[in-house]
Amino acid sequence: MKPAELHFFIDPNRCIGCQACVQACSECDTHRGESMIHLEYVDRASSVQTVPVVCMHCDQPTCAEVCPADAIKRTADGVVQSARKPRCIACGNCVMACPFGVPEVYEDRQLMMKCDMCYDRTSVGKKPMCATVCPSQALFFGSREQIEQMRPQSMPANTFRFGNQTITTRVFTMIPKIGAQKQQYIDVTAAMDEEAWPRNVRLNVIGDAPLPSLTEAGLPLDPFAEMEV
């Protein structure tokens, strides 16, 4: 298959937080010892949910648009490259501007580095390191036909809105189809509860206000709230 027909798909629903992607990224031949992937717990105190973030490779990359040194280039096949060493002035504009929070400035070498979709591998038809090793295949690299055939319960999306900015990307995120959106098990006590089983508990996303009480959220009162443990 031609490199241009192969795409990168992220499915956070599958992610198990194992960090195989992070460890494998640091084995890449172009930036050995450094990982370009961000893998974070959303809020470990209330869930095991983790989210892997690679560069989304925007069609109109904000990082490149704000770069005063014109150091960030997009290849003809749509891969946004790491900053070019002779040009980058490590000003950090790209770090501030990227809506996905991807680029990082490495102070020790005065250079922005980020995921380039393993260009050394993908440009010759191989899969990126992270998507090759990912044990849950939360990171998948393949064709549209493959993903549609293998993942009938979700669909790829690559349009994102941030305020007034709409961004389309080369990398896709998998969105559960209507009806396939499942509730998550977040608090064990919810599964221990005869009446309210199963139920959704809102994640306390970083930066959110403290959780409203369950009754305010329109959910049944937790009968285990006073449980002796």
The binding site for another protein (CB under 8 A) comprises 13-20, 22-24, 26-27, 29-33, 44-50, 127, 129, 132-137, 150-153, 182, 184-189, 191-194, 197-198, 201, 224, 227, 229
Q: Which is nearer to another protein, 37 or 58 (CB)?
A: 37
**Minimum CB distance to another protein, residue 154 (Å):** 8
Work out how close the CB of 161 gets to another protein at its nearest, in angstroms, rounded to a whole number: 26
Q: Cβ(10)–Cβ(52) under 8 Å?
A: yes
Distance in Å, CB of 168 to another protein, minimum: 26
Least separation in angstroms between residue 180's CB and another protein is 10
Task: Considering the complex, state which of residue 14 and residue 69 has its C-beta at the smaller distance from another protein.
Answer: 14
**Pairwise CA distance, residues 148 & 172, whole Å:** 12
Two tokens, residue 211: 């959780």
Which token pair is 78?
Answer: 């749509």
Q: How far apart are CA 112 and CA 67, in angstroms?
A: 11
Q: Please, are residues 115 and 37 in contact by the beta-carbon 8 Å criterion? A: yes
The answer for residues whose C-beta is within 8 angstroms of residue 209's C-beta and 6 or more apart is none
Which residues on neighbouring strands pair with residue 52, listed in sequence order?
39
C-alpha to C-alpha distance for 69 and 72, rounded to whole angstroms: 8
From 65, 112, 62, select the one nearest 86 (Cα to Cα). 112
Which residues lie closer than 8 Å to 101 by C-beta, 6 or more apart?
Answer: 38, 53
How near is the Cβ of 97 to another protein at its closest, in Å? 28
Closest C-alpha among 183, 170, 84, 65 to residue 128: 170
Q: Which two three-digit tokens encode residue 94? A: 């790209």
